[in-house]
Amino acid sequence: MRKKVLVAVSGGVDSAVAAALLLKEGFDVTAVFLCLQQFGPKLTAEGMEHAIESNSRSCCTPQDAADARRIAAKLGVKFISLSATKDFETIIKSFIDDYEKGRTPNPCVRCNEKIKFGKLFELADSLGVQYVATGHYARIIDYKGQHAIAPALAPGKDQSYVLFSIPREKLDRIIFPVGRLKNKQAVRDIAKELGLEVHDKPDSQDICFVPDGDYAKLLEAHNSSALRAGNFIDTSGKIVGKHDGYGRFTIGQRRGTGIAAGHPVYVTDINPKTADVTIGEKNDLLADGLTADGANWQVDVPVSPDSRASRGGPTEFEAMVKIRYNHRGAAAKVIITGENTFEVRFDKPLEAVTPGQAVVVYSEDCLLGGGWIKEKCNSSTSSL
């Protein structure tokens, strides 16, 4: 019997090619479109192909739903439209809550964990399907006898960062077909050869529930306290200006403050209790390390013989660490401080360590795991 796989088909070229590659490999493929938002009465299961056009470059639009159905029909595979609207509301709420706490959220990580893979596995288990697949640019490899996620082969396209929170027990059931391809053009070429209309469809760029990139509008629509006005202060605490909502800013931001200091200034801290936004110079962004919570380790972490763990202390190891999606990575020491917490000490100070973002840990071309940045720390404040 052919191995069965559910493929999350978003209506884009990457997931379409993922489904096509698995079909070519002999899998029994079912395409699943995850409907994350309500589109209104024009979108129905029977009339999806007549859905209205959308100019948005985000995912999960009526056009995406129509494209997903057409992709399944072209490939000759079964198609399921699965509503995840209620689950998705929790992602939006978490997004708003983070801004209200003075953090800068990364909803894509949470969506991958809770919805894209969470809902896919629920459906797979209910149907007796062994595997699930997506169009993510990443790979599943063998790491010291364990299934693990590794960066994609395509330069500049790796998406492993946003996959750190997937539970380790699910990794042996996940397939990332396009992660094996050498570049994006190879993906588009395959789609074109197959006659898929989405071969030249633009990539999604924005957070799908903030399609124009203006997240302040979303905060306004929810009457968020993150738009409470307050003061700009300098690093000494002196008031240097006024702002109309601390949620409009993020650590490291340079533009949009309206502060005329005669030299470049940056957002270095956000205090949600007082609504103060601290402005400083570039050096003020530097941090020696960070603390993180919400840890998820997908493989057993490497522990060197001379680490403190071997001497009865906390587990520690050397690794490469990414503190944002487009970060190239930095050498660091990672110290596990609790069941769900860890600290990071960078070999060289890094700029703009941002609470709310994911910190993801790599070693030997393997994603070990990660967590959520709680706060930055320097030598005088760190417990390291």
Q: What is the pLDDT of residues 192-222, one digit of tens each?
A: 999 999 999 988 766 778 767 788 889 999 9
Domain topology for 286-377: Elongation Factor Tu (Ef-tu); domain 3 (2.40.30)
Q: Render pLDDT for 148-174 as a digit per residue (tens, 0 to 9).
A: 999 999 988 999 999 999 999 999 999
Query: In whole angstroms, what is the distance from residue 217 CA to residue 62 CA?
Result: 21
Contact status, residue 66 vs residue 49, Cβ threshold 8 Å = yes
Q: 3-class SS at 149?
A: strand
DSSP secondary structure letter of residue 212: T
Q: Render pLDDT for 274-309 as a digit per residue (tens, 0 to 9).
A: 999 999 999 999 999 999 999 999 999 887 666 555
Catalytic (active-site) positions: 111, 208
Average pLDDT over residues 252-270: 89
Torsion angles phi and psi, residue 76, rounded to 5: 75, 35
Query: In whole angstroms, what is the distance from residue 371 CA to residue 185 CA?
Result: 32
All structural domains of the chain with their residue ranges: 4-200, 228-280, 286-377
- What's the number of CA atoms in the CB half-sphere (13 Å) around residue 137? 19
Under the banding of pLDDT at 50, 70 and 90, the label for residue 41 is very low
Q: Looking at this protein, which amino acid is placed at residue 271? A: N
How far from the centroid of its chain's Cα atoms is residue 248's Cα? 20
For position 304, what pLDDT does the model report?
Answer: 63
CATH of 4-200, one of 3.30.230.10, 3.40.50.1220, 3.40.50.620, 3.30.470.20: 3.40.50.620
Contact status, residue 134 vs residue 170, Cβ threshold 8 Å = no
Secondary-structure class of domain 228-280 per CATH: mainly beta
Fold match between domain 4-200 and domain 228-280: no
